[in-house]
Amino acid sequence: MASSSSLCPRNDNSANGPKNSNMDIECAPVSSPSSVHGISSSELELYKAVLNGDWERASQLLSDNPQLLSAQIGTAKSPVLHIAVGLGEARMGFVEELVALLDKQGEDLAALRDSYGATALFNAARAGNIKAAKLLVNKMPDLPNICQNNYLAPLHTAVRYGHKELTLYLLNITRNDVDPSPFSNLPGFELLRRALTVGFHDVALRLVKSYPHLATCKFNYAHYDDVADDSDEALTPLTVLAKRPWAFRSGSCFNLWQRMIYHCVPVKLNHFLSQPNRGGMQNQVGSHELSTQMCCWTRLFKACRKVNAIFKKLVGCLVSPIKHIQETKTMHSLTLQLLNHLCTEVLKDPRAEEIFRESFITGAKYGIPEILEEIIKSYPFALEYLDENVLKLAVSYRYEKIFNLICATGMHRELIIRTRDDSNVGNILHLAGELAPPHRLNLVCGAALQMQRELHWFKEIEKYAPRTFSESENKKKEKPKMAFINAHKELIKEGEKWMKGTAKCYTLAAALIATVVFAAAITIPGGNHDDTGIPNFSKEKAFKVFAASDALSLFLSIASVLICLSILTARYAEDDFLVALPRRLIFGLVTLFLSVTFMMIAYSCAIYLLFGEKKAWILISLGALACLPVTLYGIWQFPLLAFLANIVIVQSDRSTIMARVFDTITYFGICIKFMTECIAFTLSLSLSLSAPADIFS
């Protein structure tokens, strides 16, 4: 069912205009046979028929009252075609009958307007009804260029409501050689602004390529009243783009698996944008023989379509997340292309210095290094914009990539020294000692890991600051180290609680594994020989694998218990969160993982010795089932393991800059994943080697 906004056609800028309620119209009692509050009973009945899709009733009413076909009915003063089109594709049958009737009566679709001067195509654009839009355009090709009272075209409405498919369709059939053109002056500025607002960067890229004057225009957010933005100042497209961190790779937060998919999927560009179709419907003429042959394959074609639809539904749950990541990567690629083109066009403008400065500062504020890098690359004088204010933003908001960019220019030491004279908040170390904003702190899960990230950030900033900065005081008479401890008191407590809770869980699991494998070593499968006491299966390969795996599982589980106990008894000073605690946790996690792996190998060997009967299918089944818990454990604990391992690796090389804390996790994670798969493969291989060669014959 269409939304209430689509039921009541209205102008794009009529936020305070007349509103209509479907329930009031449908359920209001008819107190008079002639009119209800100025609305005739025939209009009311026609409105009900449109809402219900009752063409027979509507046809009868239009036959009895021909003037209703073009009259503005309802409190919104919209023709019946506008109302039907705005209900969406669910009422397409009604719309087709109505358009056929209008064509038969010789009604001009361009003359059918609502009280705001909008044609029915505006309602189709608002509702995203692409079928109705194509139907209307086929009847009247000039309809996309007919604007409403505020000089906006249907294309503007489709972009505003975020209907991508309909936007692309209208963009390729809307002409620019008419007056007024939807792509020039204020309408063109508004179209580009709306495309940037809803994230249609491919549409924005095509607009600035086709109409370069749009690249340096200034938007006025107060010009149209449909903008949910609290800024009323004039902004250029480059500045608006600098306020969209989600449109860039640096502003997207992916987990480890999503990052792996992101690096693998190709960029899928929209070729529909580069192939405009400004014509109407293409006439297809074929021979009679070809038509006859096509009819013979109709049933088979329909059957194939049904099978294809079923297949799409089955794989949809798997394909959908990958498709979403691919679309995100495509958006990032298009955004970079748009950024490059905007910078190229801004260079030609006399106001280039002003535009670049505003966009540079905005990009630094929102933490988008791509903006800063592209502006510096296009306009090298932008290096002068890297002042102490940009440095403070990078340090306060933990924008490590912007900080690395400043370090790459060699200006970081000069800018750090400039913060010495700030008597209010202190020097740059006092800023680094403040608690990170929640949206940056929550990028890492777990209070202990958040504390580690905060401490590591403070240590890295301390490396670049002069030694005297560590002894200076702020207005609270606090040195940087003391300011850091005071700001992170609660986080330290939460980190201790999280670390102990995690260690307790690992201790319990490791203790259970140790108990099980110890009992398995005493009560060996198959029992012992009565005379010699030697195990009955001692000569079997599977028994040797069982013995070795059981012993390794016992040793590793006990090691995991001891490591986790050391975590529980740690002193939990703030410096312990940097390396000591993460290192112990990763050793405990790895030993627990390996103990689970070898326990499953030992259990599978025991089952095979007792019930396998040297059959291949039993061996293969055991290997596959044994991989299941190991794989699940690896998948669920893998992100934590990769993050902790990354911490240990980075801390072992103190010469690295902060980029490694956040960038190497992807590559190291891939290595850990490969190691996990190798362990699973080793499990299956060991079972295969434990069986005699003739079982596969």
* CB distance 337 to 267 below 8 Å: no
- What is the predicted pLDDT for the residue at 306? 67
- The Cα–Cα gap between 462 and 478 comes to 16
Three-state DSSP class for 239?
Answer: helix
Domain segments of the chain as ranges: 1-149, 183-276+319-385, 404-487, 498-696
For the chain, residues with pLDDT lower than 50 are: 1-36, 222, 225, 227-230, 232, 271-272, 274-294, 652-681, 683, 685, 687-697
- What is the predicted pLDDT for the residue at 305? 67
Q: By CB neighbour count within 10 A (0-12 exposed, 13-18 middle, 19+ buried), where does 487 fall?
A: middle
Neighbours of 693 (CB within 10 A): 8
3-state secondary structure 63-111: HHCHHHHCCCECCCCECHHHHHHCCCHHHHHHHHHHHHHHHHHCCCHHH
Neighbours of 512 (CB within 10 A): 12
- The Cα–Cα gap between 600 and 592 comes to 12
pLDDT tens digits, 37-52: 556 778 888 888 888 8
Torsion of CA 314, 318, 324, 327, to 10 degrees: -80
* CB distance 461 to 432 below 8 Å: yes
- What is the predicted pLDDT for the residue at 91? 83
Q: Which one-letter amino acid corresponds to residue 293?
A: Q
- What is the predicted pLDDT for the residue at 173? 92
When computed from its CA atoms, the radius of gyration of the chain, rounded to whole angstroms, is 35
**Domain 1-149 superfamily per CATH:** Ankyrin repeat-containing domain (1.25.40.20)
* CB distance 544 to 596 below 8 Å: no
- The Cα–Cα gap between 634 and 271 comes to 40
- What is the predicted pLDDT for the residue at 179? 80
Task: Name the phi and psi angles at 219, rounded to 5.
Answer: -80, 150
- What is the predicted pLDDT for the residue at 572? 92
- What is the predicted pLDDT for the residue at 302? 64
* CB distance 619 to 691 below 8 Å: yes
The number of angstroms, rounded, from the C-alpha of 596 to the middle of its chain's C-alpha atoms is 35
* Structure-token pair, residue 80: 């019946």
pLDDT tens digits, 293-339: 445 556 666 667 666 666 555 555 557 788 888 889 999 999 999 99
* CB distance 122 to 132 below 8 Å: no
Please name every residue paired with 664 in a beta bridge, in sequence order, or none if there are none.
none
- What is the predicted pLDDT for the residue at 665? 41
Q: Which one-letter amino acid corresponds to residue 616?
A: A
- What is the predicted pLDDT for the residue at 656? 41
- What is the predicted pLDDT for the residue at 560? 95
* Structure-token pair, residue 240: 């608006």
Q: Which one-letter amino acid corresponds to residue 580?
A: A
* CB distance 585 to 567 below 8 Å: yes
Three-state DSSP class for 579?
Answer: coil
